[in-house]
A and B are shown apart, each in its own frame.
Chain A
Amino acid sequence: MQETVQLLVNGLIYGSILALGGLGISMLLGVLKIANFAHGDMMTTGAYLAFAANTVMGLSIALSMAVAVVGTVLLCLLLEWLIWQRLRRTGAGFVRLLLSSFGTALVIRSLIYLFAGGDPRMLNIDVFDVYIVQGIRISRTQVTALVSALVVVSIMAWVIGHTEFGRLLRAMSQNRDLALLAGVKVGRLTRYTWVFAGGLVAIAGVLQASVQSSFTPDMGWNLVLALFAAAVVGGVGSAYGALLGGLLVGVVVEMSTISIGGHHLPFEYKPVIMFGVLLSVLWLRPAGLLGEAARA
Chain B
Amino acid sequence: MNAASLFDLSFWVSIGITVAIFGILAAGFQLQFGYAGLMNFGHVAFMAIGAYTTAILIVHAGLSWPWAALGALVMSMAGGLVVVALSSRIRLEYFALATLAYSELVRYLIQNLSSVTGGTQGTPAMLGNQTVTEYGTAWRDMLTASRDWLTDVTGREIPVDLPMFVVSLVAFALVLGLLWHLVSSPWGLVTRAMREDELAFTARGYSVQKYRLWAVAISAGFAGLAGVLYAFYYLALYPSEFDSEFTLYAVLIVLLGGTARVAGVFVGAALFGVIYAGTRMLAVLPITGLPPEKFAYLRTVVIGLIFIVFALYRPQGVLGRRDEIAFE
Contact = CB atoms under 8 A, between A and B. Distances in A.
Interface of A: 29, 33, 35, 83, 86-87, 90-100, 102-107, 109-111, 113-114, 225, 228, 232, 266, 268-269, 271-272, 275-276, 278-279, 282-283, 286, 294-296
Interface string B294-306: 1001101101111
B93 A35 contact: yes
A103 to B, nearest CB: 3
B297 A275 contact: no
B304 A96 contact: no
Interface of B: 39, 41, 86-94, 96-98, 100-102, 104-105, 108-109, 111-112, 248, 251, 255, 290, 294, 297-298, 300-301, 303-308, 310-312, 315, 325-328
Contacts of B89: 282-283, 286, 295-296
B306 A103 contact: yes
Given A103-B307, A232-B94, A296-B91, 5 more contacts: A29-B93, A96-B315, A100-B312, A272-B112, A295-B89
Contacts of B290: 114
B315 A272 contact: no
Contacts of B251: 99, 102
23 contacts: A83-B312, A86-B312, A87-B312, A95-B327, A97-B311, A102-B307, A103-B304, A106-B304, A107-B304, A110-B304, A114-B294, A225-B101, A232-B97, A272-B105, A272-B109, A275-B104, A278-B101, A279-B101, A283-B98, A286-B90, A286-B91, A296-B88, A296-B90
B90 A110 contact: no
B112 A110 contact: no
Most buried by B among A29, A106, A266: A106
A91 B17 CA distance: 39
A210 B111 CA distance: 27
Contacts of B312: 83, 86-87, 90, 96, 100
A117 to B, nearest CB: 8
A100 B93 contact: no
Nearest to A112: B297
A103 B308 contact: yes
Contact of B105 (A87, A106, A279, A294): A279
Nearest to B103: A275
Contacts of B112: 266, 268-269, 272
Given A98-B96, A232-B94, A83 B308 contact: yes
B97 A107 contact: no
Nearest to B92: A94
Contacts of B100: 225
B98 A282 contact: yes
Contacts of A109: 300
Nearest to B306: A103
Contact of A95 (B98, B101, B248, B326): B326
A283 B301 contact: no
A86 B311 CA distance: 10
Contact of A94 (B93, B109, B303): B93
Contact of A110 (B92, B108, B301, B325): B301
Contacts of A279: 86, 98, 101-102, 105
Given A94-B92, A94-B93, A294-B94, A110 B328 contact: no
B48 to A, nearest CB: 14
A238 B97 CA distance: 19
Nearest to B33: A95
Nearest to A218: B243
B88 A95 contact: no
Contacts of A33: 93
Q: What 4 pairs across the A-B complex have the smallest Cβ distances?
A: A103-B307, A106-B304, A107-B304, A103-B308
Nearest to A108: B304
A106 B91 contact: no
A257 to B, nearest CB: 12
A130 B190 CA distance: 64
A91 B89 CA distance: 26
